[in-house]
Amino acid sequence: MAPEESNVALPFSEACERNKEPILAALSQWLAEGNRVLEVGSGTGQHAVHVCRHLRVVWQPSDRTINLSDLRRRCQIEGQTNSHLGWLLPPVELDVLQPLWPDGPFDAVFSANTAHIMPWNAVPRLLEGSARVLRCSGLLLLYGPFHEGGHHTSPSNAAFDQHLRSLDPAMGVRDALELAALAADCGLQAIDDVSMPANNRLLVFRRVAAEESEPQP
Ligand X SMILES: C[S@@+](CC[C@H](N)C(=O)[O-])C[C@H]1O[C@@H](n2cnc3c(N)ncnc32)[C@H](O)[C@@H]1O
Q: Does 13 bind ligand X (CB under 6 A)?
A: yes
Cα–Cα distance measured from residue 54 to residue 65, given in angstroms and rounded to the nearest whole number = 28
Nearest to ligand X of 21, 212 (CB atom): 21
Cα–Cα distance measured from residue 154 to residue 25, given in angstroms and rounded to the nearest whole number = 23
Which residues are bridge partners to 148 per DSSP? 151
* Span 101-140, contacts to ligand X by CB under 6 A: 112-114, 117-118, 122
Q: Does 70 bind ligand X (CB under 6 A)?
A: no
Cα–Cα distance measured from residue 11 to residue 13, given in angstroms and rounded to the nearest whole number = 7
Q: How far is the CB of 174 from ligand X (least distance, A)?
A: 13
Peptide linkage before 197 cis (omega within 30 of 0) = no
Q: Does 52 bind ligand X (CB under 6 A)?
A: no
| Contacting residues for 126 by C-beta, under 8 A, at least 6 apart | 40, 96, 111, 114, 115, 118
Q: Does 64 bind ligand X (CB under 6 A)?
A: yes
For residue 150, the Cα-to-chain-centroid distance in whole angstroms is 23
Q: Does 16 bind ligand X (CB under 6 A)?
A: yes
Q: How far is the CB of 192 from ligand X (least distance, A)?
A: 19
Where does this chain touch ligand X (CB under 6 A) — which range of 95-103, 170-178, 187-195, 201-209?
Answer: 95-103
Nearest to ligand X of 28, 137 (CB atom): 28
Q: Nearest-5° angle of CA 123, CA 161, CA 129?
A: 10
Number of residues that bind ligand X (CB under 6 A): 20
* Site residues (vs ligand X, CB under 6 A): 13, 16, 40-43, 47, 63-64, 67, 94-97, 112-114, 117-118, 122
